[in-house]
């Protein structure tokens, strides 16, 4: 007859409540974790924008000529860049705020690296705005005049 008593006195199975308690006890929310999550979402949006931009603005037609985006696409492109720049600058500002509480050298170095990364992506968005949506179309390079028209 098999015994229902455990033979190993040192092994205990966690109850549902003990497991939940451990999960809650080990949860330590951090502003940096929240920022990383938001940055990950922003970076995903940035990559989706670049993928769509490549398909829409850097494609060629059957004759091998650069295809021209219509006015609605160009407006959506410009507005998307603006939103990405705005939200990216907000993330950069939030990083500045939370990095003031960092104590360790590693945390400060990570914040610096993240600041450079987001700054690089923001700069590339600003360059896209200047290239595709110049304030003065008459001063844009001849290669882009073909895209924008006269």
> How does pLDDT run along the chain (150 residues), one tens digit per residue?
454 455 555 667 788 888 888 888 887 777 788 888 999 999 999 999 999 999 888 888 788 887 788 899 999 999 999 999 999 999 999 999 988 888 888 888 988 999 999 999 999 999 999 999 987 666 555 555 455 554
Phi, psi dihedrals of residue 125, rounded to the nearest 5°:
-70, -40
Position 58 scores a pLDDT of 82
- Token pair, residue 101, equals 């509480």
- Cα-to-chain-centroid distance, residue 47: 7
Position 28 scores a pLDDT of 73
- Token pair, residue 126, equals 């600003």
Position 140 scores a pLDDT of 58
- Residues in contact with 61: Cβ distance below 8 Å, sequence separation at least 6, in sequence order: 67
Position 79 scores a pLDDT of 96
> Which is nearest to 98 in space by CA: 29, 26, 25, 46?
29
Position 150 scores a pLDDT of 47
pTM confidence score: 0.71
């Amino acid at each position: 007859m098999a015994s229902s008593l455990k033979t190993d006195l040192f092994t205990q199975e966690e109850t549902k409540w003990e497991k939940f308690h451990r999960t809650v006890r080990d949860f330590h929310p951090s502003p940096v974790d929240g920022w990383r999550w938001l940055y990950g979402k922003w970076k995903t949006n940035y990559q989706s924008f670049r993928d769509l931009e490549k398909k829409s603005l850097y494609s060629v037609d059957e004759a091998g000529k650069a295809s021209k985006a219509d006015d609605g696409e160009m407006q959506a492109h410009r507005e998307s860049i603006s939103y990405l720049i705005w939200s990216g600058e907000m993330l950069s500002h939030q990083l500045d705020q939370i990095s003031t509480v960092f104590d360790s050298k590693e945390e400060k170095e990570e914040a610096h690296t993240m600041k450079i990364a987001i700054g690089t992506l923001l700069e590339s968005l600003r360059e896209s705005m200047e290239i595709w949506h110049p304030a003065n179309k008459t001063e844009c390079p001849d290669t882009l005049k073909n895209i924008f028209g006269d």
